Amino acid sequence: MTITLVQGLLIALLAMITGLDCWLQAFFIFRPIIVCTLTGLILGDLRLGVIAGGLTELAFAGLTPAGGTQPPNTVLCGIMTVVIAATNNTSPATAIGLSLPFAMLMQYILLFYYSSFSLFMSKFDKYAAEGNAQKFKRLNFVPLIIVTLSFGIFAFLSAYAAQAPMHALVNSMPQWLTHGFELAGGILPAVGFAMLLKVMLKPRYFPYLLLGFVIASMISFSNVLPVALIGGVFAAIEYFRTREVSDLKEQIKDIDNGDDQDGI
């Protein structure tokens, strides 16, 4: 398929909204599961968007910014995964690998902003010393506008303006290279999930993980809702059990400390 100008503009608008949310970390609509689904809706292939969103979300499950370590940008990765898969008739797994250069380039742009926006600090100090609240407030919107427009422009150029070169590049790739991207894209979700488990998995939670594997092996993967519901039940049980233990510890602490009215 070919992306029309209207679809390119809608993708740019989507990138601006989700990119601003990515910068502010406010509503978490910048996650790939949402970005891919909305991109698929814009391109008229919601099913592709949902499938690509699930794969990309798993790939980014364990990729979290920590200090100077910055993973590829989730917004551009989500958008370009669906765009590449839709326009070049490739699988979402292959498209994930091909979308990473766009995501990394966008992240480099954001890293540049992290440093360059420090130039505004002298202005902020000046307005704060003068007590000029209006200028101080207005200056806060300047970085946000720059970031928002950057997301929109870069997404529009990547999805609409560069679709012909991208199509030519994908078609010129030999079969073994395309297959390599497909394998890499298929491995990324497993790597992301493994990184998440490395942080979250504790010995006391391992029985839940083992039970999930057993249940998953006994059902059809076309319907994973039972596994999700069972996981939700165990999460609720663990949550209420932890609350009860916490409340019990607080009661014991109050008893040990005594009360001003108990005469001790």
Q: What is the DSSP string of 155-207?
A: HHIIIIITHHHHHHHHHHS-HHHHHHHHHHHHHHHHHHHHHHHHHH--GGGHH
Which position has the higher pLDDT, 184 or 263?
A: 184
Q: In this predicted structure, what is the pLDDT of residue 203?
A: 80
Q: In this predicted structure, what is the pLDDT of residue 65?
A: 61
| pLDDT level of residue 164 (50, 70, 90 thresholds) | confident
Q: In this predicted structure, what is the pLDDT of residue 41?
A: 94
Q: In this predicted structure, what is the pLDDT of residue 185?
A: 62
Residue 75 and residue 53: Cα distance in Å, rounded?
Answer: 11
Which residues, 6 or more positions from 227, have their beta carbon under 8 angstroms from its beta carbon? 212, 215, 216, 219
Length of the chain equals 264
Among 148-152, 170-174, 226-230, which is the least confidently predicted range?
Answer: 170-174
Which position has the higher pLDDT, 133 or 209?
A: 133
Q: 225-257 and 206-218 helices cross at what angle (nearest 10)?
A: 160
Tell me how far CA of residue 35 lies from CA of 46, 55, 76, 77, 162, in angstroms: 11, 12, 9, 9, 20
Residue 12 and residue 17: Cα distance in Å, rounded?
Answer: 9
Q: In this predicted structure, what is the pLDDT of residue 93?
A: 81
263, amino acid identity: G
Q: In this predicted structure, what is the pLDDT of residue 165?
A: 76
Q: In this predicted structure, what is the pLDDT of residue 20?
A: 92
Among 9-18, 77-86, 181-190, which is the least confidently predicted range?
Answer: 181-190
Q: In this predicted structure, what is the pLDDT of residue 69?
A: 61
Q: 92-116 and 175-200 helices cross at what angle (nearest 10)?
A: 60
User: Per the structure block, which two tokens stand in for 234?
Assistant: 């165990």
Q: Which residues pair with 66 in a beta bridge?
A: 69
State the average pLDDT for the chain: 82
Is the CB of residue 54 less than 8 Å from the CB of residue 64?
no
Question: What's this model's pTM, rounded to 2 decimal places?
Answer: 0.71
* 77-105 residue pLDDT tens: 899 999 988 888 888 888 888 888 888 88
Burial class (CB in 10 A: 0-12, 13-18, 19+), 84: buried
| pLDDT (average), residues 136-156 | 92
Q: In this predicted structure, what is the pLDDT of residue 181?
A: 66
| pLDDT (average), residues 246-250 | 80
Q: Where are the domains of the chain?
A: 5-200, 201-256
The alpha-helical segments, DSSP class H, found in the chain are 5-24, 32-42, 46-59, 74-88, 92-116, 121-130, 133-156, 163-172, 175-200, 206-218, 225-257
